[in-house]
Each structure stands twice: as C-alpha cells, then as structure tokens.
Amino acid sequence: MSVNVEADLRGRAKRVKRAIEAAAVRSGRRPEAVTLVAVSKTVGPELVREAAELGITHFGENRVQEAEAKIEGLKGQLPANVDWHLIGHLQSNKARKAARLFALIESVDTLDLAIALNRIAGESGSRLPILLEVNVGGEASKFGFSPEALEEVFPKILALSNLEVKGLMTVARAVSDAEQARPVFRELRRLRDRLKEAYPVADLRELSMGMTGDYPVAIEEGATLVRIGRALFGERTL
C-alpha cells in the first residue's frame, strides 16, 4: 500500500471516530456504545488489513461470494477479534454459506429466511446471531419487513431456538440533508422499543442504522451499529 493511501485511511478513520464520539456525547451516550462497521465491499484485502491495524474490528460485506473470497484470502492475517457482518440482501440459496462466514447476519428480511437459517444453525448445533431488516420507509427498491409485518411475525421468529435475534437494521433513503433521515431512525428505535415491551425476553440490544451521509443523526436516535464505507475508504472504484 502506498504511503498516501495509508495516510488517507488513517485520517479518515480518525475523523469518523471523532464524529461518532461527538454524536454519542450529544445524545448522552458513551462512545463505546456505538460500534463502527467498516463497509468493505469492493475494498481490496490490503486495505482491509490496514483498517484492522488501525483498530477497526468489524467489517460489513454486501455479497456472499465477494465476502467469501476476501475472508478466506485474509485468513490468519487479521487480529483474532475481527469479525464480519453480512449487510446486503441474502438469497436463501446462499444462507448456508453465509451462516458459516459471518459473525452477524444483519439482513434477515423474511420469515422464510429466518426459518432456513434456524435449520442450518441447528444442524451444526450452534446459535446464529441475526438482525431483522426493516423497510421503515416502505421503499419498493429496498428489502425488509414493513414495521407492521414484523410486529405480526416477530413471535414466530423469536421462537426459532437456533437464532439469536440481536436487534433491528434499516437502510434510510439517500437524502441531501441527514436530518431528513431522522424520522426513519426514530421509527426503528420506537419499533424496537415496542417489540421489547411486548416481548421482554427478547434481546434487541442492537440498532444498525446510519451510513456515511447520515450516521451522526442515526447515533443521536440510538444507533448501536453504524455502517461506514465511503467516509473510510473513499469513493468506490467499481
């Protein structure tokens, strides 16, 4: 890696971490309560290694096939505390591979997918951590449960004994002003709170929301996981 690329990444990482800390403080929360997930789709392994050396321990991938090549290629080259999140849409025919590769699947968007993952996890005698993706804005171009549909099927998902439902995830509409995304983040938090009140046994500690253009607002609304790509790695080249 060139010195310039390394310096750019180091500088960007510092700026992102400062912004996370500032947003957490504004909302009366500890900065440690917010986890940075570096979105590494299309990012080469060398840059992932450098990010890990800077202390980033969570990486998010959109596609199982790309992630598999990257994860296998970096085996033994990253700190032991590094883990991988699937943040993109998961097709059921890739569910088995995803369950093997990822520490957290953030994009479980149907009851059928949850049932399939539960079966796969049961075959290996393990419990698989997941988030449930919610299409808060009702956008036709996005995957996820509607809030109403999730409230209806949530007890069925909660009953799947091989899954650990850790919380909820959403992708807000791309906007020019991050404040325009605030209602989406607020509604996800309120949905989580309603589910938690109705089902006290549920964990639901995680709210994965906020990306490069709006993550400070997401943190102010309760995000515990923010998915940052461009602000860390620069514009995508692919």
Residue 2 binned pLDDT confidence (cut-offs 50, 70, 90) = very low
Q: Does position 238 have pLDDT exceeding 60, yes or no?
A: no
Q: What is the pLDDT of residue 237?
A: 58
Residue 91: Cβ-neighbour burial (10 angstroms; 0-12, 13-18, 19+) = exposed
Helix H or strand E encompassing 226: strand 225-228
Q: What is the pLDDT of residue 235?
A: 81
Q: What is the pLDDT of residue 174?
A: 87
pLDDT in tens, 100-155: 999 999 999 999 999 999 999 999 999 999 999 999 999 999 999 999 999 999 99
The number of beta carbons lying within 10 Å of the beta carbon of residue 89 is 16
pLDDT in tens, 68-107: 999 999 999 999 999 999 999 999 999 999 999 999 999 9
| For helices 64-73 and 45-53, angle between their N-to-C axes, nearest 10 degrees | 60
Q: What is the pLDDT of residue 3?
A: 47
The number of beta carbons lying within 10 Å of the beta carbon of residue 2 is 7
Of 227, 209, 188, nearest in space to 61 by CA: 227
pLDDT in tens, 167-213: 999 999 888 899 999 999 999 999 999 999 999 999 999 999 999 99
CATH class of 3-233: alpha beta
